[in-house]
Chains A and B, each alone.
Chain A
Amino acid sequence: MADAEAETELITTADGIPLKQALKKALWQRKKTALLLVSPLFLFVLITFLIPIFDMLTRSVDNSIAGEQFPSVVVEIQRWDLDSSEIPDETTFQALFKDFKAGAERKTISRLGRRLNYEMSGMSGLFRKTARKIKKLEAPEAATEVMIAIDKKWGKLDTWRLIKRESGNYTNSYYLAAIDAEKLSDGSLAMKAEDRQVYVALFWRTIRLSITITILTILLGYPIAYLLATLKTKTSNMLIILVLLPFWTSLLVRTSAWIALLQKEGVINDILVAIGVLNDDSRLAMIHNEAGTIIAMTHILLPFMILPLFSVMKTIPPSWVRAARSMGATPFTAFRRVYLPNTIAGIGAGGILVFILAIGYYITPALVGGTKGTLISNFIAYHVSTSLNWGLAAALGTILLLLVLALYILYDKVVGISNMKLG
C-alpha cells in the first residue's frame, strides 16, 4: 500500500479526515440530539425547581429591606460605633427623619418595622406610631429631639444597636432564629430562653419520627415484599395492586380515615371497649399526638418501602437460599447470611426514599399530629402563609435541605449510593 507510512502516523477515514475528529463529530451529533430531547425537562426543572430553591436560599439571608427603607440611615450609621455609650449624632437623626418621612408617605416603612420586630418586640409598634406622627411634621432643626419626642425608644441605645446590626444587605438572624439562638444587644450570640426554644426540638422530633417511621416501614414492608417476590406472578400481581390501592385514593381521604379509626370515639377504641380490653373512661389517645403521626405516615409511606424491596427481592433466585440450606445453614442463618445481605440495596433505597419523604411531610402531620405530632414542615408552612416571616421559613427550609443532603452523604459513605436499587 502506498500510504502505509502515513497510516502509522495518523489514522484517517476513507476520505482523509482524522479518525478522532470524525468520531468526535459523529458523537457530537448524537449528543446534540440527546441534549435537545432533555432540554424541555431541564428548562422545566430550572424554572420550577432550581430557581425557587436558589431564591429560597437567598431569602434566608436577604436583608435588602433595610437599604430600601433606610437608604440614608444605613450610610450614616456606619460612623457610629456599636460599643458607643451614646446614641448616634444629629446627622444620623436627620437621615432617620428623612428616610422615615419618605417611607411613611410611601406607606412601606412598616415593613421594616415588622422585619425588626422579629429581632426585638415592640419595633413594629414603634414604627407604626412614628409613621403616623411624622407625616404631619416638617424637616426639623433638631431631629434628635423631635424623634425622641415622638417615642422615647429612639433615644435608647438598644434600638440603635439593632438598626446598626441589621443595616447590612445580608443577615444571619433568620438562621439564628431557626436554631433558637439570638443576638444579645451587645452583639454576642446566645441560646434563647428555654421556654422560647421551638425549632431545635422540632428538628429533633422530625428526625426522630422520620427514623421511627422508616424503621416501621422496613419491619412491616420486608415480609410483605418477600411474600410478593416469592408468590406466583399471578397472585403477586394482584397483591401489588392491593399495595398500590392506597395511591388511588386521595391522601386527604386516607388521612381522614385514620382520624375516624383512631380518635377517642373512633372505631378502634370502640372495639377495644366493646370487647372489654379498655374501660370506657380509659380510651387510648392515638391521634393528635406523635402516635397518630407515626401510624398514619407509616401507612401512607409503606408502598415506597415495599416497591424497591420487591424489585430487589425479585432478582434473588430461590436457589441462593437453597444452596445455603444444602450447605448446612439453618433457615435463619441462610436468611441472615445470604438473603438479607442481598436485599440491603432495596432496604437502602426504600429507607432513604421513606426517610426523605417523611422528613418533609406536611399534610398528614398537620391533620393528625395535634401539637405534639407536627413536624418542621408544618412550621415552615405556618411562616410562609400565616406569620409571613418568609426569611425564617426559608432558613428552616434550607436547614432541612442541608440535613437531607448530609444524611444522603452519610448514606453514601456507609452503604454506597451505587448499591441503591429503586427498580
Chain B
Amino acid sequence: MSNDDALVRFVDIQKSYDGESLVVKSLNLDVANGEFLTMLGPSGSGKTTCLMMLAGFEPATHGEIFYKGNPINRVPPHKRGIGMVFQNYALFPHMTVAENLAFPLQVRDMSKSEQEERVNRALDMVELGPLGDRRPAQLSGGQQQRVAVARSLVFDPDLVLMDEPLGALDKNLREKMQYEIKHIHENLGLTVVYVTHDQSEALTMSNRIAVFDDGIIQQCAPPEVLYEKPDNAFCANFIGENNRFLGKVIEDNGDTVKVDIDNNNAGAVVAKKVNVGGVGDRSTLSLRPERVTVNPEPGSLPNIFEGVAEELIYLGDHIRTRFTVLGHNDFIVKIPNSADHAHLQEGGTANIGWTAEDCRALDPSD
C-alpha cells in the first residue's frame, strides 16, 4: 500500500498519560481507504488510546496523525467528521431514536426535509424503521447497538471508529451484529477502525488486524496470515488456540531449524524458522491443534512422537483431545469428527505428528 492510498496515517505516535510510562510506544500504522482494520489486544495494550487519539479526544504526546493527507493533531473532534460508535452506545437518553439520529444532521444545519429523509434511510438500513419514536431505554441491547451504528453513519463520514461496540451483547446477538456491521461496511464502502479484545470477532470482521500488546503493534496482517503465520509468540498465543514448546535451537538449516525441547529426552522437533536466531538461541515453538495428525504413516512427517491421550472431550464437530507428549501434558489436538477419525481411549497411546511448515519457531518470550 502506498502512502497516497492511506486514509489514516499514524506517524511515530507516542502517548503517555502520567509522564512516567508510555501507553503507546512509537505507533506507525496506515489505514487504507475502504479497509476494515481491527485493533486487537488485551486491556491496557493501548488500542483504545489509539482510537481516542484518532477521534480527537486524547492528544498525542508525540508524533502526528494524518487524515486524508492532512495533519489533524490540532483539529478538534467536531471538525474531524469521523463517525464513532462507543462501547456503551452513548445514545442520548433524553432524545428519541429519531432525534438521536437527527442530532449530527441538526448540528450541520441540514434542512428539515433532508434530515427526515436521512434519518428514515438510516433507520431502514438497520431495520428499525418503526421504532423512531422510542426512547433508547425502551429498546433492547441489540436495537440500541443498531441505533448507535446508524447514528455514526447518518452524516456520511468516510471513516467510522468503533470502540468495542459489541462488548455488552450476549454471544448470539454479538455474532449476528458482527455480520451486520461487516455487511454495512461492504455495502457503503466505508473505512472502519474497530477496537476489540475478542479475537474471534476480529477474525470474523476484519480485512486486517493490528495486534497490540504493551503499546506496540506486534503484527499487522490479514486474519488468515495472522492465524496461520504469526510473527511472534504473543500473536500465536493471543489469536486462536496454540500448543507451545520451549526449547533451544540445535541445528539451523536455513528454512527450518531443529529445536531441542526443554526437560525432555524424546528428541528434537523440526520447525519452520520464523522469528529466531541461530544455533544455541532459545525459541518458542507454536503449533495449531488442528494441524496435528493422529496416527500418521511412519516416516511421512518429520515430526512423529508418541503421546498418551489424557482427556477426551466430545464437542460435536470435533473431539478435543489432551495429550501428554514431549513431556508436556497440555498438548491439545482437535480430531475432526469424520467417518474415519481415530478412535482413542483415555489413557491410550497414539502416534501424533505434524509438518515442519505448521510448527513455527518463534521468539522465546515468556
A326 lies within 8 A of B78 (CB): yes
What's the least CB distance linking A260 to chain B, in Å? 43
- Indicate whether B81 reaches chain A with its CB closer than 8 angstroms: yes
A328 lies within 8 A of B78 (CB): yes
A322 lies within 8 A of B94 (CB): no
Q: B21-29, B82-90, B298-306: which one contacts chain A? A: B82-90
CB closest residue in chain B, given A330: B78
- Indicate whether B108 reaches chain A with its CB closer than 8 angstroms: yes
Chain B residues near A331 (CB-CB < 8 A): 76, 78
- Indicate whether B66 reaches chain A with its CB closer than 8 angstroms: no
Chain A residues near B80 (CB-CB < 8 A): 326
Considering the complex, which residues of chain A in the window 291-349 have a beta carbon less than 8 Å from any beta carbon of chain B? 317, 319-320, 322-331, 333-334, 337-338, 341-342
Considering the complex, which residues of chain B in the window 59-100 have a beta carbon less than 8 Å from any beta carbon of chain A? 76-84, 86-88, 90-94
- Indicate whether B155 reaches chain A with its CB closer than 8 angstroms: yes
A323 lies within 8 A of B90 (CB): yes
- Indicate whether B234 reaches chain A with its CB closer than 8 angstroms: no
A328 lies within 8 A of B155 (CB): yes
Chain A residues near B78 (CB-CB < 8 A): 325-331, 334
We find that the number of chain B residues with CB closer than 8 angstroms to chain A is 28
- Indicate whether B151 reaches chain A with its CB closer than 8 angstroms: yes
Chain A residues near B77 (CB-CB < 8 A): 322, 325-326
What's the least CB distance linking A420 to chain B, in Å? 15
A326 lies within 8 A of B55 (CB): yes
B93 lies within 8 A of A342 (CB): yes
Chain B residues near A323 (CB-CB < 8 A): 84, 86, 90-92, 151
Chain B residues near A333 (CB-CB < 8 A): 107
Chain B residues near A329 (CB-CB < 8 A): 78, 103-104, 107
B104 lies within 8 A of A327 (CB): yes
For the complex, what is the distance from the CA of A328 to the CA of B80, rounded to whole Å? Answer: 8
Chain B residues near A320 (CB-CB < 8 A): 90, 92
For the complex, what is the distance from the CA of A330 to the CA of B80, rounded to whole Å? Answer: 11
For the complex, what is the distance from the CA of A320 to the CA of B86, rounded to whole Å? Answer: 9
What's the least CB distance linking A319 to chain B, in Å? 4
A322 lies within 8 A of B55 (CB): yes
Chain A residues near B94 (CB-CB < 8 A): 341-342
A319 lies within 8 A of B90 (CB): yes
Given contacts A322-B57, A323-B86, contact A328 B92 (CB under 8 A): no
B83 lies within 8 A of A338 (CB): no
Given contacts A328-B81, A328-B155, contact A322 B107 (CB under 8 A): no
CB closest residue in chain B, given A320: B90
A326 lies within 8 A of B92 (CB): no
For the complex, what is the distance from the CA of A107 to the CA of B54, rounded to whole Å? Answer: 90
B87 lies within 8 A of A337 (CB): no
Chain B residues near A317 (CB-CB < 8 A): 88, 90
For the complex, what is the distance from the CA of A341 to the CA of B95, rounded to whole Å? Answer: 10
A319 lies within 8 A of B86 (CB): yes
Chain A residues near B92 (CB-CB < 8 A): 320, 323-324, 338, 342
Given contacts A322-B55, A322-B77, A323-B84, contact A328 B104 (CB under 8 A): yes
What's the least CB distance linking B195 to chain A, in Å? 13
A322 lies within 8 A of B90 (CB): yes
Residue among A319, A324, A326, A341 making CB contact with B82, cutoff 8 Å: A326
Chain B residues near A342 (CB-CB < 8 A): 92-94
Residue among B56, B88, B108 making CB contact with A319, cutoff 8 Å: B88
CB closest residue in chain B, given A342: B94
A326 lies within 8 A of B103 (CB): no
CB closest residue in chain A, given B52: A322
Chain A residues near B84 (CB-CB < 8 A): 322-323, 326
What's the least CB distance linking A333 to chain B, in Å? 6
What's the least CB distance linking B8 to chain A, in Å? 15
CB closest residue in chain A, given B55: A326
CB closest residue in chain A, given B81: A328
For the complex, what is the distance from the CA of A324 to the CA of B106, rounded to whole Å? Answer: 11
Chain B residues near A330 (CB-CB < 8 A): 78, 107
Using a CB–CB cutoff of 8 Å, the interface residues on chain A facing chain B are 317, 319-320, 322-331, 333-334, 337-338, 341-342
20 contacts between A and B (CB under 8 A): A319-B86, A320-B90, A322-B84, A323-B90, A324-B103, A326-B55, A326-B56, A327-B151, A328-B78, A328-B79, A328-B108, A328-B155, A329-B78, A329-B103, A329-B104, A330-B78, A331-B76, A338-B92, A342-B92, A342-B93
Using a CB–CB cutoff of 8 Å, the interface residues on chain B facing chain A are 55-57, 76-84, 86-88, 90-94, 103-104, 107-108, 151-152, 155, 161
Apart from the given pairs A317-B88, A327-B107, 18 other A-B contacts in the complex at a CB distance below 8 Å: A319-B90, A322-B55, A322-B86, A322-B90, A323-B84, A323-B91, A323-B92, A325-B56, A325-B78, A326-B152, A327-B78, A327-B83, A328-B79, A328-B108, A329-B78, A329-B103, A329-B104, A331-B78
